[in-house]
């Protein structure tokens, strides 16, 4: 059996959640657990959050299938919102599993205005400037008013998605919040019950208190990462995932000889190369070739040669008796760290992509 594993520290997940909830002034929380909880394992993460005294009021997923997986895992009472646009063919499944779909087009409104079946809860997505999904904010009030008149439809919530909350310049986010806030006020003033209003993704939770409305909606921050270097670090977070493996073999590489495909690494002196059973098929991005680091026996070591599908190599010249010893590929050493944010810097991407791309063939080990 392979010895590579992703350790998921559930206490760190709880720590992040509690701190984010406090930052949100104890507003309701929708824990975003889509994409298998950003690669951390949706079911086990939710199981842990469900045990908390002050557990999340909602869970957010991208797909109806994800919501069904949560229901089948035993999450029977907590509301689950699917961010994906409603598919009318799914209404029986939504009702059976008590899944809340997203309504985001005029066509959705028109169809549901004539809906007369079993009571259906919905959330309405309002496009205030993301330009992806949602009712145009200019028309949103009239459309929401129309659907609110159907007694078979329960308007459980309205929300918007901020396009630039993780950027240093908050002016566009403030414009979006003003547009959304105006709709919320107009609904209130007209006596239209809209359920919970939510807009605060991770970046907004950190830096935009005006975005909190009735509920905050943290995603990547739950798993221990700030959305970008431009956000504040106003909430103390701990990474939830650690990637570990063992050194499977070592080999002496003479000066002038190469390691791995393409000969991108040439030994400048005699070295000892150690191979690890982990590669890009596991989520170790090829952009980390000759740039990655790891921790073993309290020492930092450098990745050498091109990352391959199933194996990576490190210069272990300074490590004695390294075979079968644990090596930390993502996480912390004694005083060092090399986490998803560091990987993201090298790969010119974001921590979200790093954790989501740790593949299913890497076993998750859950530590409470």
Residues assigned a catalytic role: 34, 261
With CA atoms as reference, report the closest residue to 157 among 222, 76, 214. 214
Token pair for 260:
């791995």
DSSP string of 121-176, one letter each residue: EEEEEEESS--SSSEEHHHHHHHHHHHHT-TTEEEEEEE---SSTTSS--HHHHHH
Do residues 351 and 358 touch, judged by C-beta distance below 8 A?
Answer: no
CB burial of residue 23 (10 Å; 0-12, 13-18, 19+): buried
C-alpha 109: how far from chain center? 30
CA distances from 240 to 7, 41, 46, 171, 173 (A): 8, 11, 14, 32, 28
Do residues 316 and 322 touch, judged by C-beta distance below 8 A?
Answer: yes
CA distances from 326 to 4, 237, 275, 299, 367 (A): 9, 25, 12, 12, 17
Q: How many residues does the chain have?
A: 368
- Buried b / exposed e over 93-125, threshold 16 CB at 10 Å, is ebeebebbbbbbbeebbeebeebeeeebbbbbb
User: How many C-beta atoms surround the C-beta of residue 319 within 10 A?
Assistant: 20
């Amino acid at each position: 059996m392979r010895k590579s594993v992703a350790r998921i520290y559930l206490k760190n997940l709880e720590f992040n959640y509690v701190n984010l909830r406090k930052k949100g002034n104890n507003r309701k929380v929708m824990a975003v657990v889509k994409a298998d909880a950003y690669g951390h394992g949706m079911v086990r993460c939710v199981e842990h959050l469900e045990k908390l005294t002050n557990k999340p009021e909602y869970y957010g997923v991208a797909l109806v299938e994800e919501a069904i997986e949560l229901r089948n895992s035993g999450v029977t009472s907590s509301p689950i919102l699917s961010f994906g646009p409603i598919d009318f063919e799914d209404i029986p499944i939504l009702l059976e599993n008590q899944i809340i779909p997203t309504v985001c087009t005029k066509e959705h409104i028109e169809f549901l205005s004539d809906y007369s079946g079993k009571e259906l809860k919905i959330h309405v997505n309002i496009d205030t400037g993301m330009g992806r999904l949602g009712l145009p904010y200019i028309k949103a009030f009239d459309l929401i008013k129309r659907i609110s008149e159907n007694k078979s439809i329960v308007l459980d919530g309205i929300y918007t998605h901020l396009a630039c909350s993780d950027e240093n310049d908050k002016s566009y986010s403030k414009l979006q919040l003003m547009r959304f806030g105006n709709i919320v006020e107009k609904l209130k003033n007209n006596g239209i019950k809209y359920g919970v209003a939510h807009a605060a993704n991770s970046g907004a939770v950190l830096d935009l208190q005006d975005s909190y409305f009735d509920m905050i909606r943290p995603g990547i921050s739950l798993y221990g990462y700030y959305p970008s270097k431009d956000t504040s670090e106003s909430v103390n977070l701990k990474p939830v995932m650690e990637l570990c493996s063992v050194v499977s073999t070592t080999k002496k590489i003479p000066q002038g000889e190469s390691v791995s495909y393409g000969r991108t690494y040439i030994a400048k002196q005699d070295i000892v190369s150690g191979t690890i059973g982990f590669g890009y098929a596991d989520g170790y991005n090829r952009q980390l070739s000759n740039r990655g680091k790891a921790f073993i026996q309290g020492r930092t070591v450098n990745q050498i040669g091109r990352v391959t599908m199933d194996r990576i190599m490190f210069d272990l010249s300074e490590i004695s008796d390294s075979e079968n010893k644990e090596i930390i590929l993502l996480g912390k050493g004694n005083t060092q760290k090399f986490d998803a944010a560091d990987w993201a810097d090298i790969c010119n991407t974001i921590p979200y992509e790093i954790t989501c791309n740790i593949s299913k063939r890497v076993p998750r080990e859950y530590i409470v």
